[in-house]
Structure 1
Amino acid sequence: MTLTGVYVPLITPFDATGAVALTALEALAHEVLDAGASGVVALGTTAEPASLTAAEQRGVVDVIARVCRERSAPLVVGAGTVEAVQALRGRSEVVAALSVVPPFLRPGEAGIIAHFAALALAGPVPLVVYHVPYRTGQHLSADTVRRLADLAGVAGIKYAVGGIDADAIELLADPPAGFAVLGGDDAFISPLLALGAHGGILASAHLATARFVELVDAWHTGATFRARTLGHRLAAMSSAMFAEPNPTVIKAVLHAQGRIPTAAVRLPLLPAGPGSVRAALRHIDADARG
Protein backbone atom coordinates (compact mmCIF):
# COMPACT_ATOMS: atom_id res chain seq x y z
CA MET A 1 0.00 0.00 0.00
CA THR A 2 1.43 3.38 -1.02
CA LEU A 3 0.68 6.03 1.59
CA THR A 4 -1.23 8.92 0.05
CA GLY A 5 -3.22 11.93 1.22
CA VAL A 6 -3.04 13.85 4.48
CA TYR A 7 -1.69 12.28 7.65
CA VAL A 8 -2.03 14.34 10.83
CA PRO A 9 0.80 13.93 13.36
CA LEU A 10 -1.28 14.29 16.49
CA ILE A 11 -0.21 16.51 19.37
CA THR A 12 -0.24 15.17 22.92
CA PRO A 13 -2.74 17.25 24.93
CA PHE A 14 -2.20 17.75 28.65
CA ASP A 15 -4.79 18.48 31.31
CA ALA A 16 -4.62 21.03 34.13
CA THR A 17 -2.64 18.61 36.30
CA GLY A 18 -0.04 18.06 33.59
CA ALA A 19 -1.20 14.53 32.78
CA VAL A 20 -1.86 13.33 29.23
CA ALA A 21 -5.48 14.15 28.34
CA LEU A 22 -6.33 10.88 26.64
CA THR A 23 -10.02 11.70 26.12
CA ALA A 24 -9.10 14.89 24.27
CA LEU A 25 -6.53 12.97 22.21
CA GLU A 26 -9.18 10.43 21.22
CA ALA A 27 -11.54 13.23 20.17
CA LEU A 28 -8.82 14.90 18.08
CA ALA A 29 -8.15 11.65 16.24
CA HIS A 30 -11.82 11.28 15.39
CA GLU A 31 -12.10 14.94 14.34
CA VAL A 32 -9.29 14.86 11.79
CA LEU A 33 -10.50 11.56 10.36
CA ASP A 34 -14.04 12.94 10.15
CA ALA A 35 -12.61 15.88 8.17
CA GLY A 36 -11.07 13.56 5.59
CA ALA A 37 -7.53 12.83 6.77
CA SER A 38 -6.24 9.58 5.29
CA GLY A 39 -4.68 8.58 8.59
CA VAL A 40 -2.87 9.78 11.68
CA VAL A 41 0.60 9.64 13.19
CA ALA A 42 1.23 8.86 16.86
CA LEU A 43 4.43 9.86 18.64
CA GLY A 44 5.73 12.04 15.85
CA THR A 45 7.85 15.01 16.90
CA THR A 46 4.66 17.11 17.12
CA ALA A 47 3.59 14.81 19.98
CA GLU A 48 6.58 15.81 22.18
CA PRO A 49 7.52 12.13 22.58
CA ALA A 50 10.84 12.82 24.31
CA SER A 51 8.92 14.46 27.17
CA LEU A 52 6.62 11.46 27.66
CA THR A 53 7.32 8.53 29.94
CA ALA A 54 7.30 5.04 28.49
CA ALA A 55 3.89 4.45 30.09
CA GLU A 56 2.53 7.69 28.62
CA GLN A 57 3.82 6.73 25.18
CA ARG A 58 2.06 3.37 25.39
CA GLY A 59 -1.14 5.08 26.51
CA VAL A 60 -1.02 7.49 23.59
CA VAL A 61 -0.52 4.70 21.06
CA ASP A 62 -3.24 2.57 22.69
CA VAL A 63 -5.82 5.35 22.38
CA ILE A 64 -4.99 6.33 18.83
CA ALA A 65 -4.76 2.69 17.75
CA ARG A 66 -8.25 2.07 19.13
CA VAL A 67 -9.63 4.97 17.09
CA CYS A 68 -7.90 3.73 13.94
CA ARG A 69 -9.17 0.22 14.55
CA GLU A 70 -12.74 1.50 14.95
CA ARG A 71 -12.42 3.68 11.84
CA SER A 72 -10.41 1.24 9.69
CA ALA A 73 -7.88 4.07 9.34
CA PRO A 74 -4.12 3.60 8.92
CA LEU A 75 -1.84 4.53 11.78
CA VAL A 76 1.83 5.49 11.53
CA VAL A 77 3.86 5.49 14.74
CA GLY A 78 7.08 7.35 15.42
CA ALA A 79 9.75 4.73 16.16
CA GLY A 80 13.45 5.15 15.52
CA THR A 81 15.14 2.23 17.27
CA VAL A 82 15.02 -1.54 16.91
CA GLU A 83 13.27 -1.80 20.27
CA ALA A 84 10.68 0.83 19.33
CA VAL A 85 9.78 -0.73 15.99
CA GLN A 86 9.65 -4.22 17.49
CA ALA A 87 7.18 -2.90 20.09
CA LEU A 88 4.72 -2.32 17.22
CA ARG A 89 4.37 -6.06 16.65
CA GLY A 90 0.79 -7.24 17.04
CA ARG A 91 -0.78 -3.82 16.38
CA SER A 92 -2.70 -4.57 13.19
CA GLU A 93 -3.78 -0.96 12.65
CA VAL A 94 -0.15 0.24 12.40
CA VAL A 95 0.86 0.39 8.74
CA ALA A 96 4.30 1.98 9.13
CA ALA A 97 6.88 3.33 11.54
CA LEU A 98 8.09 6.89 11.04
CA SER A 99 11.83 6.75 11.66
CA VAL A 100 13.99 9.85 11.69
CA VAL A 101 17.43 9.88 10.09
CA PRO A 102 19.75 9.51 13.11
CA PRO A 103 20.52 13.03 14.32
CA PHE A 104 23.78 14.69 15.35
CA LEU A 105 26.16 11.84 14.42
CA ARG A 106 26.12 12.57 10.67
CA PRO A 107 27.22 9.02 9.78
CA GLY A 108 27.25 9.68 6.03
CA GLU A 109 24.85 8.39 3.43
CA ALA A 110 26.29 4.86 3.42
CA GLY A 111 25.78 4.72 7.18
CA ILE A 112 22.21 5.91 6.82
CA ILE A 113 21.45 3.17 4.30
CA ALA A 114 22.96 0.54 6.60
CA HIS A 115 20.99 1.92 9.55
CA PHE A 116 17.64 1.71 7.77
CA ALA A 117 18.42 -1.71 6.32
CA ALA A 118 18.95 -3.02 9.86
CA LEU A 119 15.89 -1.24 11.20
CA ALA A 120 13.68 -2.56 8.39
CA LEU A 121 14.95 -6.10 8.95
CA ALA A 122 14.10 -5.92 12.65
CA GLY A 123 10.67 -4.33 12.39
CA PRO A 124 7.23 -5.87 11.83
CA VAL A 125 5.97 -2.97 9.69
CA PRO A 126 7.44 -0.92 6.83
CA LEU A 127 9.41 2.24 7.53
CA VAL A 128 8.85 5.81 6.46
CA VAL A 129 12.19 7.59 6.54
CA TYR A 130 11.94 11.04 8.16
CA HIS A 131 14.39 13.26 6.29
CA VAL A 132 14.77 16.58 8.10
CA PRO A 133 18.37 17.70 7.59
CA TYR A 134 18.08 21.06 9.37
CA ARG A 135 17.42 19.04 12.54
CA THR A 136 19.61 15.97 11.93
CA GLY A 137 22.61 17.58 10.20
CA GLN A 138 22.59 14.79 7.60
CA HIS A 139 21.79 15.46 3.93
CA LEU A 140 20.39 12.73 1.70
CA SER A 141 20.86 12.97 -2.06
CA ALA A 142 18.18 11.85 -4.50
CA ASP A 143 20.38 8.84 -5.32
CA THR A 144 20.54 7.86 -1.65
CA VAL A 145 16.76 8.18 -1.31
CA ARG A 146 16.41 5.84 -4.30
CA ARG A 147 18.75 3.36 -2.63
CA LEU A 148 16.62 3.56 0.52
CA ALA A 149 13.51 2.97 -1.61
CA ASP A 150 15.12 -0.21 -2.93
CA LEU A 151 15.38 -1.65 0.59
CA ALA A 152 12.79 -4.26 1.51
CA GLY A 153 10.67 -2.78 4.26
CA VAL A 154 11.09 0.91 3.39
CA ALA A 155 7.77 2.29 2.17
CA GLY A 156 8.35 6.01 1.82
CA ILE A 157 9.91 9.22 3.02
CA LYS A 158 8.72 12.24 4.95
CA TYR A 159 10.55 14.94 3.02
CA ALA A 160 11.21 18.03 5.15
CA VAL A 161 14.29 19.87 3.92
CA GLY A 162 13.04 23.39 4.61
CA GLY A 163 11.93 24.14 1.06
CA ILE A 164 12.06 22.63 -2.42
CA ASP A 165 15.59 21.53 -3.31
CA ALA A 166 17.17 20.09 -6.44
CA ASP A 167 17.08 16.58 -4.96
CA ALA A 168 13.30 16.74 -4.52
CA ILE A 169 12.92 17.82 -8.15
CA GLU A 170 15.20 15.01 -9.33
CA LEU A 171 13.47 12.42 -7.15
CA LEU A 172 9.94 13.35 -8.18
CA ALA A 173 10.83 13.56 -11.87
CA ASP A 174 11.12 9.76 -11.76
CA PRO A 175 9.80 8.52 -8.41
CA PRO A 176 10.53 4.94 -7.30
CA ALA A 177 7.57 2.66 -7.89
CA GLY A 178 5.48 1.98 -4.79
CA PHE A 179 7.48 4.47 -2.72
CA ALA A 180 5.55 7.29 -1.05
CA VAL A 181 6.99 10.80 -1.01
CA LEU A 182 5.18 12.74 1.73
CA GLY A 183 5.80 16.41 2.37
CA GLY A 184 6.76 17.34 5.90
CA ASP A 185 7.26 21.10 5.62
CA ASP A 186 3.72 22.42 5.88
CA ALA A 187 4.36 25.79 4.21
CA PHE A 188 5.92 24.05 1.17
CA ILE A 189 3.44 21.21 0.73
CA SER A 190 1.67 22.76 -2.26
CA PRO A 191 4.76 23.05 -4.51
CA LEU A 192 5.91 19.58 -3.46
CA LEU A 193 2.50 18.19 -4.45
CA ALA A 194 2.76 20.07 -7.74
CA LEU A 195 5.99 18.16 -8.40
CA GLY A 196 4.23 14.85 -7.73
CA ALA A 197 4.37 14.11 -4.00
CA HIS A 198 1.80 11.60 -2.79
CA GLY A 199 0.61 13.63 0.21
CA GLY A 200 1.93 15.00 3.45
CA ILE A 201 2.43 14.49 7.17
CA LEU A 202 1.25 17.91 8.23
CA ALA A 203 0.95 19.29 11.76
CA SER A 204 -0.99 22.32 10.47
CA ALA A 205 -3.71 19.92 9.34
CA HIS A 206 -4.94 19.77 12.94
CA LEU A 207 -6.60 22.99 11.76
CA ALA A 208 -8.46 23.28 8.45
CA THR A 209 -8.01 19.55 7.91
CA ALA A 210 -10.53 19.46 5.08
CA ARG A 211 -8.69 22.28 3.28
CA PHE A 212 -5.45 20.32 3.26
CA VAL A 213 -7.31 17.26 2.00
CA GLU A 214 -8.82 19.43 -0.74
CA LEU A 215 -5.35 20.73 -1.63
CA VAL A 216 -3.96 17.21 -2.12
CA ASP A 217 -6.99 16.19 -4.16
CA ALA A 218 -6.75 19.33 -6.32
CA TRP A 219 -3.15 18.68 -7.31
CA HIS A 220 -3.77 14.97 -7.86
CA THR A 221 -6.77 15.62 -10.11
CA GLY A 222 -5.20 18.44 -12.11
CA ALA A 223 -7.31 21.29 -10.69
CA THR A 224 -4.25 23.51 -10.78
CA PHE A 225 -5.91 26.92 -10.41
CA ARG A 226 -7.78 25.79 -7.30
CA ALA A 227 -4.65 24.08 -5.98
CA ARG A 228 -2.47 27.18 -6.39
CA THR A 229 -5.03 29.48 -4.78
CA LEU A 230 -5.63 27.16 -1.85
CA GLY A 231 -1.93 26.39 -1.52
CA HIS A 232 -1.03 30.06 -1.09
CA ARG A 233 -3.66 30.51 1.61
CA LEU A 234 -2.68 27.37 3.52
CA ALA A 235 1.02 28.25 3.30
CA ALA A 236 0.34 31.55 5.05
CA MET A 237 -1.64 29.75 7.75
CA SER A 238 1.10 27.14 8.19
CA SER A 239 3.75 29.83 8.55
CA ALA A 240 1.69 31.35 11.36
CA MET A 241 1.41 27.95 13.05
CA PHE A 242 5.19 27.57 13.00
CA ALA A 243 6.01 31.11 14.14
CA GLU A 244 7.24 29.54 17.38
CA PRO A 245 8.58 26.02 18.04
CA ASN A 246 6.11 23.32 17.05
CA PRO A 247 3.59 22.40 18.50
CA THR A 248 3.25 25.43 20.77
CA VAL A 249 1.12 27.59 18.49
CA ILE A 250 -0.99 24.68 17.28
CA LYS A 251 -1.74 23.68 20.87
CA ALA A 252 -2.68 27.25 21.78
CA VAL A 253 -5.07 27.46 18.82
CA LEU A 254 -6.63 24.08 19.63
CA HIS A 255 -7.12 25.24 23.23
CA ALA A 256 -8.66 28.53 22.06
CA GLN A 257 -11.09 26.48 19.96
CA GLY A 258 -12.03 24.39 23.00
CA ARG A 259 -10.65 21.19 21.50
CA ILE A 260 -8.03 20.45 24.18
CA PRO A 261 -8.16 21.27 27.90
CA THR A 262 -4.96 23.36 28.06
CA ALA A 263 -2.31 24.78 25.75
CA ALA A 264 0.41 23.29 27.96
CA VAL A 265 3.66 21.96 26.57
CA ARG A 266 6.53 20.34 28.43
CA LEU A 267 10.07 21.63 28.78
CA PRO A 268 12.23 22.45 26.97
CA LEU A 269 9.29 23.97 25.06
CA LEU A 270 7.60 27.09 26.41
CA PRO A 271 4.00 28.16 25.62
CA ALA A 272 3.49 30.28 22.52
CA GLY A 273 3.27 34.02 23.04
CA PRO A 274 -0.10 35.78 22.73
CA GLY A 275 0.92 37.67 19.58
CA SER A 276 1.70 34.47 17.70
CA VAL A 277 -1.55 32.91 18.84
CA ARG A 278 -3.62 35.93 17.77
CA ALA A 279 -1.95 35.92 14.34
CA ALA A 280 -2.63 32.20 13.89
CA LEU A 281 -6.27 32.62 14.89
CA ARG A 282 -6.66 35.44 12.36
CA HIS A 283 -5.46 33.09 9.62
CA ILE A 284 -7.92 30.42 10.77
CA ASP A 285 -10.77 32.94 10.75
CA ALA A 286 -9.78 34.18 7.28
CA ASP A 287 -9.74 30.64 5.94
CA ALA A 288 -13.15 29.93 7.46
CA ARG A 289 -14.54 32.97 5.63
CA GLY A 290 -13.17 31.57 2.39
Structure 2
Amino acid sequence: MLTGLYVPLITPFDASGDIAVGALTRLAHDVLDGGAAGLVALGTTGEPSALTPAERATVLKTLTATGAPLIVGANDAATLAGLDATAALTLVPPFVRPGEDGVVAHLSALAQASPVPLVVYHVPYRTAQPLTVEALHRIAAIPNVIGVKLAAGGIDADTVALLADPPEDFAVLGGDDAYISPLLAMGAHGGILASAHIDTGSYADLIAAWQSGDTARARPLGHRLARLSAALFAEPNPTVVKGVLHAQGRIPTPHVRLPLLPAAAASVDAALSRTLTDSRA
Protein backbone atom coordinates (compact mmCIF):
# COMPACT_ATOMS: atom_id res chain seq x y z
CA MET A 1 0.00 0.00 0.00
CA LEU A 2 1.14 3.54 -0.75
CA THR A 3 1.83 5.47 2.43
CA GLY A 4 3.67 8.63 3.41
CA LEU A 5 4.38 11.83 1.55
CA TYR A 6 4.44 12.16 -2.24
CA VAL A 7 5.43 15.51 -3.72
CA PRO A 8 3.85 16.51 -7.06
CA LEU A 9 6.77 18.36 -8.55
CA ILE A 10 6.53 21.67 -10.37
CA THR A 11 8.13 22.07 -13.78
CA PRO A 12 10.80 24.77 -13.41
CA PHE A 13 11.59 26.96 -16.41
CA ASP A 14 14.77 28.86 -17.21
CA ALA A 15 15.00 32.44 -18.50
CA SER A 16 14.50 31.29 -22.09
CA GLY A 17 11.33 29.41 -21.16
CA ASP A 18 12.80 25.92 -21.48
CA ILE A 19 12.59 23.27 -18.78
CA ALA A 20 15.35 23.78 -16.23
CA VAL A 21 16.33 20.11 -16.01
CA GLY A 22 19.08 20.62 -13.47
CA ALA A 23 16.72 22.50 -11.14
CA LEU A 24 14.10 19.76 -11.51
CA THR A 25 16.67 17.13 -10.57
CA ARG A 26 17.78 19.14 -7.53
CA LEU A 27 14.18 19.67 -6.39
CA ALA A 28 13.50 15.95 -6.66
CA HIS A 29 16.51 15.08 -4.52
CA ASP A 30 15.72 17.89 -2.06
CA VAL A 31 12.25 16.55 -1.29
CA LEU A 32 13.44 12.95 -1.16
CA ASP A 33 16.22 13.93 1.23
CA GLY A 34 13.60 15.83 3.24
CA GLY A 35 11.58 12.69 3.88
CA ALA A 36 9.24 12.27 0.90
CA ALA A 37 8.37 8.65 0.17
CA GLY A 38 8.16 9.35 -3.54
CA LEU A 39 7.45 11.79 -6.34
CA VAL A 40 4.57 12.64 -8.65
CA ALA A 41 5.42 13.54 -12.25
CA LEU A 42 3.10 15.45 -14.57
CA GLY A 43 0.44 16.12 -12.00
CA THR A 44 -1.54 19.35 -12.17
CA THR A 45 1.21 21.11 -10.21
CA GLY A 46 3.64 20.30 -13.04
CA GLU A 47 1.53 22.18 -15.65
CA PRO A 48 1.42 19.15 -18.01
CA SER A 49 -1.22 20.62 -20.31
CA ALA A 50 1.15 23.52 -21.06
CA LEU A 51 4.06 21.21 -21.94
CA THR A 52 4.83 19.75 -25.34
CA PRO A 53 5.00 15.96 -25.72
CA ALA A 54 8.81 16.24 -25.84
CA GLU A 55 8.84 18.30 -22.65
CA ARG A 56 6.60 15.82 -20.86
CA ALA A 57 9.00 13.06 -21.90
CA THR A 58 11.91 15.11 -20.51
CA VAL A 59 10.18 15.53 -17.16
CA LEU A 60 9.38 11.84 -16.98
CA LYS A 61 12.93 10.80 -17.93
CA THR A 62 14.43 13.20 -15.37
CA LEU A 63 12.29 12.01 -12.47
CA THR A 64 12.55 8.33 -13.39
CA ALA A 65 16.32 8.71 -13.19
CA THR A 66 16.09 9.48 -9.45
CA GLY A 67 15.14 5.85 -8.81
CA ALA A 68 12.46 6.94 -6.34
CA PRO A 69 8.91 5.60 -6.29
CA LEU A 70 7.12 7.56 -8.99
CA ILE A 71 3.44 8.23 -9.64
CA VAL A 72 2.74 9.69 -13.09
CA GLY A 73 -0.26 11.70 -14.18
CA ALA A 74 -2.00 9.72 -16.96
CA ASN A 75 -5.66 9.97 -17.87
CA ASP A 76 -6.18 7.91 -21.03
CA ALA A 77 -5.33 4.47 -22.37
CA ALA A 78 -2.76 5.76 -24.86
CA THR A 79 -0.77 7.58 -22.17
CA LEU A 80 -1.00 4.66 -19.79
CA ALA A 81 0.11 2.12 -22.41
CA GLY A 82 3.84 2.75 -22.30
CA LEU A 83 4.10 3.81 -18.67
CA ASP A 84 6.80 2.38 -16.42
CA ALA A 85 6.16 3.72 -12.93
CA THR A 86 4.96 2.80 -9.46
CA ALA A 87 1.45 3.95 -10.34
CA ALA A 88 -0.54 6.35 -12.48
CA LEU A 89 -2.53 9.26 -11.07
CA THR A 90 -5.77 9.15 -13.06
CA LEU A 91 -8.38 11.88 -12.87
CA VAL A 92 -12.08 11.22 -12.43
CA PRO A 93 -13.32 12.28 -15.90
CA PRO A 94 -13.83 16.06 -15.79
CA PHE A 95 -16.44 18.36 -17.26
CA VAL A 96 -18.68 15.76 -18.91
CA ARG A 97 -20.23 14.69 -15.56
CA PRO A 98 -20.89 11.07 -16.59
CA GLY A 99 -22.46 10.08 -13.27
CA GLU A 100 -21.14 7.53 -10.82
CA ASP A 101 -21.86 4.52 -13.04
CA GLY A 102 -20.00 6.19 -15.91
CA VAL A 103 -17.04 7.01 -13.66
CA VAL A 104 -16.81 3.42 -12.43
CA ALA A 105 -17.08 2.02 -15.96
CA HIS A 106 -14.45 4.47 -17.27
CA LEU A 107 -11.97 3.73 -14.51
CA SER A 108 -12.58 -0.02 -14.82
CA ALA A 109 -11.68 0.10 -18.51
CA LEU A 110 -8.54 2.16 -17.89
CA ALA A 111 -7.43 -0.07 -15.01
CA GLN A 112 -7.86 -3.18 -17.14
CA ALA A 113 -5.77 -1.65 -19.93
CA SER A 114 -3.08 -0.12 -17.74
CA PRO A 115 0.30 -1.80 -17.20
CA VAL A 116 0.61 -0.03 -13.82
CA PRO A 117 -1.82 0.38 -10.92
CA LEU A 118 -4.05 3.44 -10.78
CA VAL A 119 -4.44 6.01 -8.03
CA VAL A 120 -7.72 7.77 -8.76
CA TYR A 121 -7.68 11.55 -8.39
CA HIS A 122 -11.01 12.67 -6.94
CA VAL A 123 -11.25 16.46 -6.97
CA PRO A 124 -14.90 17.38 -7.50
CA TYR A 125 -14.44 21.15 -7.37
CA ARG A 126 -12.33 20.79 -10.54
CA THR A 127 -14.10 17.88 -12.28
CA ALA A 128 -17.71 18.83 -11.41
CA GLN A 129 -18.31 15.13 -10.71
CA PRO A 130 -19.17 14.37 -7.08
CA LEU A 131 -18.85 10.82 -5.76
CA THR A 132 -20.64 9.25 -2.81
CA VAL A 133 -18.88 6.98 -0.38
CA GLU A 134 -20.65 4.07 -2.07
CA ALA A 135 -19.08 5.03 -5.40
CA LEU A 136 -15.66 5.35 -3.78
CA HIS A 137 -16.02 1.83 -2.40
CA ARG A 138 -16.97 0.58 -5.88
CA ILE A 139 -13.87 2.26 -7.30
CA ALA A 140 -11.71 0.73 -4.57
CA ALA A 141 -12.97 -2.73 -5.60
CA ILE A 142 -11.79 -2.32 -9.21
CA PRO A 143 -8.80 -4.62 -9.89
CA ASN A 144 -5.59 -2.64 -10.44
CA VAL A 145 -6.89 0.44 -8.59
CA ILE A 146 -4.79 0.83 -5.45
CA GLY A 147 -5.77 4.17 -3.98
CA VAL A 148 -7.32 7.60 -4.22
CA LYS A 149 -5.99 11.12 -4.03
CA LEU A 150 -8.84 12.61 -2.06
CA ALA A 151 -9.35 16.34 -2.57
CA ALA A 152 -13.00 17.02 -1.80
CA GLY A 153 -12.39 20.64 -0.80
CA GLY A 154 -12.76 19.96 2.90
CA ILE A 155 -14.05 17.27 5.24
CA ASP A 156 -17.45 16.28 3.89
CA ALA A 157 -19.78 13.48 4.98
CA ASP A 158 -18.51 11.08 2.31
CA THR A 159 -14.89 11.67 3.39
CA VAL A 160 -15.86 10.91 6.99
CA ALA A 161 -17.70 7.76 5.92
CA LEU A 162 -14.82 6.55 3.74
CA LEU A 163 -12.23 6.95 6.49
CA ALA A 164 -14.56 5.42 9.07
CA ASP A 165 -14.77 2.27 6.95
CA PRO A 166 -11.74 2.28 4.63
CA PRO A 167 -11.50 -0.36 1.89
CA GLU A 168 -8.92 -3.04 2.58
CA ASP A 169 -5.50 -2.56 0.95
CA PHE A 170 -6.60 0.76 -0.57
CA ALA A 171 -4.55 3.90 0.05
CA VAL A 172 -6.38 7.11 0.91
CA LEU A 173 -3.97 9.97 0.23
CA GLY A 174 -4.99 13.49 1.16
CA GLY A 175 -4.79 15.98 -1.68
CA ASP A 176 -6.13 19.16 -0.06
CA ASP A 177 -2.99 20.53 1.56
CA ALA A 178 -4.65 22.74 4.16
CA TYR A 179 -6.77 19.81 5.39
CA ILE A 180 -4.08 17.15 5.49
CA SER A 181 -3.76 17.07 9.28
CA PRO A 182 -7.43 16.28 10.03
CA LEU A 183 -7.47 13.75 7.19
CA LEU A 184 -4.48 12.00 8.72
CA ALA A 185 -6.10 12.16 12.16
CA MET A 186 -9.09 10.33 10.67
CA GLY A 187 -6.89 7.62 9.16
CA ALA A 188 -5.61 8.77 5.77
CA HIS A 189 -2.45 6.89 4.78
CA GLY A 190 -0.46 9.88 3.55
CA GLY A 191 -0.69 12.79 1.18
CA ILE A 192 0.13 14.12 -2.28
CA LEU A 193 1.01 17.68 -1.31
CA ALA A 194 2.35 20.50 -3.46
CA SER A 195 3.03 22.55 -0.33
CA ALA A 196 5.70 20.03 0.60
CA HIS A 197 8.09 21.61 -1.90
CA ILE A 198 8.54 24.02 1.00
CA ASP A 199 9.56 22.53 4.37
CA THR A 200 9.31 18.95 3.14
CA GLY A 201 10.58 17.56 6.42
CA SER A 202 7.75 19.04 8.44
CA TYR A 203 5.08 17.57 6.17
CA ALA A 204 6.79 14.18 6.36
CA ASP A 205 7.00 14.55 10.15
CA LEU A 206 3.29 15.38 10.32
CA ILE A 207 2.38 12.15 8.55
CA ALA A 208 4.72 10.14 10.75
CA ALA A 209 3.39 11.77 13.92
CA TRP A 210 -0.25 10.94 13.16
CA GLN A 211 0.67 7.41 12.07
CA SER A 212 2.55 6.79 15.32
CA GLY A 213 -0.19 8.32 17.48
CA ASP A 214 1.96 11.23 18.63
CA THR A 215 -0.90 13.71 18.87
CA ALA A 216 1.08 16.10 21.05
CA ARG A 217 3.46 16.57 18.12
CA ALA A 218 0.93 16.25 15.30
CA ARG A 219 -1.67 18.81 16.37
CA PRO A 220 0.49 21.95 16.63
CA LEU A 221 2.51 20.90 13.59
CA GLY A 222 -0.70 20.43 11.61
CA HIS A 223 -1.92 23.89 12.62
CA ARG A 224 1.35 25.47 11.51
CA LEU A 225 1.43 23.68 8.17
CA ALA A 226 -2.22 24.50 7.45
CA ARG A 227 -1.29 28.19 7.65
CA LEU A 228 1.66 27.64 5.33
CA SER A 229 -0.46 25.69 2.85
CA ALA A 230 -3.11 28.40 2.86
CA ALA A 231 -0.47 30.98 1.98
CA LEU A 232 0.98 28.80 -0.78
CA PHE A 233 -2.48 28.34 -2.31
CA ALA A 234 -3.51 32.00 -2.09
CA GLU A 235 -3.31 32.10 -5.90
CA PRO A 236 -3.68 29.31 -8.48
CA ASN A 237 -1.29 26.44 -7.90
CA PRO A 238 1.69 26.33 -8.50
CA THR A 239 2.23 30.09 -8.91
CA VAL A 240 2.99 30.94 -5.28
CA VAL A 241 5.04 27.77 -4.78
CA LYS A 242 7.18 28.75 -7.77
CA GLY A 243 7.52 32.29 -6.48
CA VAL A 244 8.77 31.05 -3.13
CA LEU A 245 11.16 28.52 -4.66
CA HIS A 246 12.61 31.23 -6.88
CA ALA A 247 12.97 33.63 -3.94
CA GLN A 248 14.82 30.87 -2.08
CA GLY A 249 17.20 30.43 -5.04
CA ARG A 250 16.03 26.89 -5.76
CA ILE A 251 14.71 27.46 -9.30
CA PRO A 252 16.02 29.93 -11.90
CA THR A 253 12.71 31.76 -12.51
CA PRO A 254 9.18 31.84 -11.09
CA HIS A 255 7.78 31.46 -14.62
CA VAL A 256 4.52 29.67 -15.32
CA ARG A 257 2.80 29.18 -18.65
CA LEU A 258 -0.58 30.45 -19.78
CA PRO A 259 -3.33 30.25 -18.78
CA LEU A 260 -1.55 30.76 -15.45
CA LEU A 261 -0.06 34.13 -14.56
CA PRO A 262 2.78 34.66 -12.07
CA ALA A 263 1.77 35.14 -8.46
CA ALA A 264 1.65 38.69 -7.15
CA ALA A 265 4.67 39.79 -5.15
CA ALA A 266 2.47 40.30 -2.10
CA SER A 267 1.32 36.66 -2.17
CA VAL A 268 4.88 35.40 -2.49
CA ASP A 269 6.05 37.70 0.30
CA ALA A 270 3.21 36.51 2.56
CA ALA A 271 4.15 32.86 1.99
CA LEU A 272 7.83 33.61 2.57
CA SER A 273 6.92 35.45 5.75
CA ARG A 274 4.95 32.43 6.91
CA THR A 275 7.93 30.13 6.35
CA LEU A 276 10.20 32.47 8.32
CA THR A 277 7.70 33.07 11.13
CA ASP A 278 6.95 29.40 11.56
CA SER A 279 10.62 28.39 11.43
CA ARG A 280 11.14 30.52 14.57
CA ALA A 281 8.07 29.10 16.32
Please, which of 71, 77, 81 is the counterpart of residue 82 of structure 1? 77
User: Which residue number in structure 2 is paired with residue 39 of structure 1?
Assistant: 38
Structure 2 counterpart SS, 1:8: strand
Instruction: Specify the SS of the correspondent of 2:89.
Output: strand
Matches within 5 A, 1:17-96: 17-67=16-66, 69=67, 73-88=68-83, 91=84, 94-96=85-87
The correspondence for 2:188, drawn from 194, 197, 217, is 197
Q: What's the RMSD between the two structures over aligned residues?
A: 0.6
| Distance of 2:130 and 2:54 partners within structure 1 | 34
Look up the match of 1:280: 271
| One-letter identity of the residue aligned with 1:85 | L
Match of 2:242 in 1: 251
Unpaired stretches in structure 1, ≥5 consecutive residues: none
- Distance in 2 (CA, whole Å) between partners of 1:132 and 1:225 is 31
> Counterparts of 1:111 and 1:21 in 2: how far apart (Å)?
39
Give the counterpart of 1:228 among 190, 201, 219.
219
Output the amino acid matched with 1:4.
T
Q: Which residue of 1 aligns with 2:136?
A: 145
Q: Distance in 2 between matches of 1:87 and 1:287?
A: 43
1:132 and 2:106 correspond: no
Partner of 1:16: 15
TM-score (norm 2): 0.99
Match of 1:104 in 2: 95
Q: Deviations over 1:94-151 (max 9, x none)?
A: 1100001111000000000000000001110000000000000000111111111111
Which amino acid in the other structure matches residue 48 of structure 2?
P
Aligned equivalents of 1:195, 1:84: Cα separation in 2 = 34
Give the number of aligned pairs.
281
The code of the aligned residue for 2:69 comes to: P
TM-score (norm 1): 0.96
CA distance in 2, matches of 1:87, 1:54: 14
Superposition deviation, residue 287 in structure 1: 2.4
Residue deviations 1:199-223, cap 9 Å, x none? 0000000001000011001101111
Following superposition, the deviation at residue 87 of structure 1 comes to 2.2
Partner of 1:113: helix, strand, or coil? helix
What is the match of residue 113 of structure 2? 122
CA distance in 2, matches of 1:283, 1:212: 15
Aligned-partner SS, 1:268: coil
Matches within 5 A, 1:203-222: 203-222=194-213
The alignment partner of 1:3 has SS state of coil
1:182 alignment partner, SS class:
strand
**What per-residue deviation string (whole Å, max 9, x for no partner) do you get for residues 7-63 of structure 1?**
000000000000011110011000000001000000000000000000000000000
Task: Give me the whole-angstrom Cα distance separating, in 2, the residues matched to 1:165 and 1:205.
Answer: 24
User: Which segments of structure 1 move beyond 3 Å, counting only runs of 4 or more?
Assistant: none
The CA deviation at 1:153 is: 0.5
2:109, 2:278 → 1: CA distance?
44
Matched letter for residue 16 of structure 2: T
Shift of 1:66: 0.3
Amino acid at match of 2:14: D
Q: Distance in 2 between matches of 1:225 and 1:245?
A: 33
- The equivalent position to 1:172 in structure 2, one of 149, 163, 169, is 163
* Cα distance in 2, alignment partners of residues 190 and 276 from structure 1: 23
Q: Deviations over 1:195-251 (max 9, x none)?
A: 000000000000010000110011011111211100000000000000000000000
What is the Cα deviation at residue 286 of structure 1? 1.7
Query: 1:261 corresponds to which letter in structure 2?
Result: P
Asked whether 1:181 is paired with 2:176, we answer: no
Alpha-carbon distance between aligned partners in 2 of 1:161 and 1:149, rounded to the nearest angstrom? 17
